[in-house]
Amino acid sequence: MSWTIIQVAIGGAIGAVGRYLTGIAVARALGSGFPYGTLVVNVGGSFLIGVLFVALGGLSAEPGRYSALLMTGILGGYTTFSAYSLDCWLLFQQGRIVEGVLYAFGSAGLSILACIAGIALTRLSQG
């Protein structure tokens, strides 16, 4: 198994535990009537991927030494919303404004519709 895959796996476990603990802490602090935990995870993860993107070399030809562990692994396990945010920014940065807008709204809209479809189909299959 390649070292990169091991880094992603270890980072994913760390990120998932971080997401869980953040959700608990935020719910205790702010209550559970609104998905504050998810909001904190998504916004915080998006901020952190921006920091790491620059710190690890940005758009250089060779990715940073720890990008698989930190960005794909830890932040991927913490929130994939961070990768979505970076992908949107990269499209805008490249001047691909229409594609960026379509991706931003399309990803969110299609994901919500897919969730609704999954719920509906599963409920139908259960009778």
Express each pLDDT in 14-55 by its tens digit: 999 999 999 999 999 999 899 899 999 999 999 998 898 888
**Rounded to an integer, what distance in angstroms lies between the CA atom of residue 73 and that of residue 124?**
35
Average pLDDT over residues 114-125: 90
Query: How many CB atoms lie under 10 A from the CB of residue 66?
Result: 15
Pairwise pLDDT comparison (31 vs 1), residue with the higher score: 31
Q: Give the model's pLDDT for residue 63.
A: 65
Q: What percent of the chain has pLDDT above 90? A: 67
Q: What percent of the chain has pLDDT above 70? A: 95
Q: Where are the domains of the chain?
A: 3-80
Query: How many CB atoms lie under 10 A from the CB of residue 43?
Result: 14
- Using DSSP, state whether 25 is helix, strand or coil: helix
Q: What are 22's two structure tokens?
A: 């953040």
